Every structure is written in structure tokens, then in C-alpha cells.
Structure 1
Amino acid sequence: MDSATSTSTTAPVFRDATDADVDALVALVESAYRGETSRTGWTTEADILDGQRTDPEEVRQVLRTPGNRLLVFERDGAIIACCRLEHRDDHAYFGMFAVSPALQGEGLGRTVLAEAERQARAAWGVTAVHMTVISVREDLISWYERRGYRRTGELTPFPYGDERFGVPLRSDLQFELLVKSLV
């Protein structure tokens, strides 16, 4: 059993990602959203999207871009969760959120989200967090709503034909903007 699936009670360590984390981060994000492994958790997109969720170049780009932070959450030396924060004027954009499928449902996602919001507010003084979620992901949207995010009704088209975002298995995909006030 690897440390990501152990029942360790060691508290996660929060830190900024480095280039040395790229492969582990890609593997984590892919495992949380795509393929059979993702079905272990509840965040899977395997029924609506095939193909990749991210790749090493996208992760490296986030690491190189000013105003971006890629936070990793480690337990016993293994990366068990991650998220991206991007400073955008008065708000932070939250994305690339993944929790190891074997650890989903244990409250780690709530901890990661709260820490990301805290760090965005502390580092940049932002007053809100924005994110986009595929609008057909009602269970995921409900999870965010329970954490204070609200649906805006602002929709943007899914980038059909751009396989960097995956291969759609249905024709009704679009993103909805969710917003949470931090004041």
C-alpha cells in the first residue's frame, strides 16, 4: 500500500509545488478525474470526458507564470492533494483541484479548499474566489455551494476540439462560474 492510500493520521503539510513535483501532480490530477482509477472517488469525470485532464507542460506553465501558485498537500512524503491559485485583480481563481481518489470523502477536500482561500486572502488581499465547474457536475457544484460558493449563471462554452481539455463524451458541456466572497 502506498502512503497516499494509507490510514495515516499525520496532518498534511501545505507547500508550493516545484518542478520536481510535476510528474506526481499530473498523475494525481489524472487519477482524480479520468479513467478507471478516478471511479474510486466521487470527483470522476470519466462518464463525461475521456483523454487527459492535464499534462506536464500545463503544470510547468502554472509554475512559471507570475501570480500563480500551485499548492501541494503532502502526508508522509506523498502528494495527496493539490490546487492552483491565480491572482486576478480583486479575486483569486481556484482550479486544478485534486484529491487522491482513495482519500476522497474524508474531509481533505474541505481542508484544502479552506487553506487555499486563506492563502489567497493572506498573500493577495483578495475579496473573492472564482472557479469554473462543468455545469452538468451537479454533485460537485452542490459540494461547492455547501462551502459558500454561489452559482452565477455565467456560462462559457467547453472547448470542443481542443484535446488538452479532454475528449467530450457528450455534446452539452459548458463551464459555469462559481464565486465565493471572502469578506
Structure 2
Amino acid sequence: MDTTATDVSFRDAADADVDALVALVESAYRGDSSRAGWTTEADILQGQRTDPEGVREIIESPDSRVLTVEREGRIVACCQLEHRGEYAYFGMFAVSPTIQGGGLGRTVLEEAERRARAEWGVTEMHMTVISVRDDLIAWYERRGYRRTGRMTPFPYGDERFGVPQRDDLQFELLVKPLG
């Protein structure tokens, strides 16, 4: 039995977690360290994925939280949940690249959905994914998310979101009903 997904604890992030969360997100998506996992964006985006100010803003917002996942006292995964009326927004999802593929991501997603339903009474989860990330979109589709075809432009020129390595990036909205 794989213990990767079962030997963890969940809690809301605190200000003291900001640096560790930024490091985790960066390691999962950017640079050579991200290539250890399958969620890397290193070939389509360089530069930063997030920054301490952005993470702190989410933690301190009354309608948001960063769900933090720990194993043996170390943060190994996280996600953002934001209450937006009838639905919750799911973002900033990261699993340490060295333990990806063991079921932890699925466990985190399920816990995020459960908490959004239980705590906010929402009926849907929304997220945006870079539309060229076919493998990632397929992973979400296997978990009940559907593509909407609704696109929003990538913020070219705003390096807070990274430095694009191609000119066809955009975000697609994925939606899942929460029963």
C-alpha cells in the first residue's frame, strides 16, 4: 500500500509558512527541480510562479485559505481555496516533485473539495489551467472536472506570473459540480 497519500496532515497555512510555500510551488513548476515531477511548466514558462507577497495575500484574505499538507513536519503539498459565492476557486496546487505520482495530489484535491462543500456550502469547484497542459487537464478530467472552452488571456509582460517561452498561452476554465 502506498503511504504517500495517507501519512499526511492538513491545516490552514499561517504567515510563518510563506517562505516554505513559495519554495514548494516554485519547485513543483519551475526550473530543473520541477523536472523530477510531472507537473513541471519549465518548458513553457521560466521565472517565478509565485512570490511571498502573493501567498501572504491569500493567507490573510477572509475569503481564501492555503490548505497546507505536512508529512513528518515538512510541507509537502498545498492548494489555494477561495470562496466566490456559489463556487470555490482552486489554485496554487503543488505537490513536492520528488513524491508526485503516488496519489497525494488526488488526496489533496478530494480534501479541498470536501472542505469547500462543508465549510462554504458551494456547489461547484472552478480552476484555470494553462490550455496547452494536456496531461494536467486530462488528470483533472479523470477526477470529474470538465473543460468549458472559456479562455482568459495569459498575462504576457507581467513577470509575476512567469516568463513565457511561447506565444500561445491562455487559461481554460475547468469546472466540477460538488455533490
The answer as to 2:37 corresponding to 1:41 is yes
Q: Which runs of 5+ in 1 are unaligned?
A: 1-6
Distance 2:99 2:165 in 1: 27
The answer as to 2:98 corresponding to 1:102 is yes
**Pairwise CA RMSD of aligned residues?**
1.2
Q: Which runs of 5+ in 2 are unaligned?
A: none
Show the counterpart of 2:82.
86
Show the counterpart of 1:3.
none
Alpha-carbon distance change, 8 to 148 in structure 1, aligned in 2, over 3 angstroms: closer
1:8 shift after superposition? 7.1
Is the contact made by 1:54 and 1:165 (CA closer than 8 Å) also made in structure 2?
yes
Show the counterpart of 1:126.
122
After superposition, residues 1-183 of structure 1 pair within 5 angstroms as 11-183=7-179
Letter in 2 for 1:157: P
Misfit runs of 4+, over 2 Å:
7-10
Distance 1:172 1:159 in 2: 11
Distance 1:46 1:176 in 2: 19
Distance 2:7 2:87 in 1: 28
- The percent identity for this pair of structures is 75
Is the contact made by 1:10 and 1:76 (CA closer than 8 Å) also made in structure 2?
no
For 1:29, what is the secondary structure of its paired residue? helix
Show the counterpart of 1:4.
none
Alpha-carbon distance change, 127 to 164 in structure 1, aligned in 2, over 3 angstroms: same
Distance 1:89 1:10 in 2: 31
Alpha-carbon distance change, 112 to 9 in structure 1, aligned in 2, over 3 angstroms: closer
For 2:149, what is the secondary structure of its paired residue? strand
Distance 1:141 1:51 in 2: 22
Alpha-carbon distance change, 46 to 74 in structure 1, aligned in 2, over 3 angstroms: same
Is the contact made by 1:92 and 1:130 (CA closer than 8 Å) also made in structure 2?
yes
Taking structure 2 as the reference length, what is the TM-score of the superposition? 0.97
Distance 2:4 2:111 in 1: 20
Distance 1:113 1:9 in 2: 11
For 1:15, what is the secondary structure of its paired residue? strand
Letter in 1 for 2:57: Q
Cα distance per residue 1:40-80 (max 9 Å; x no partner): 00000000000000000000000111110100000000000
Is the contact made by 1:29 and 1:96 (CA closer than 8 Å) also made in structure 2?
yes
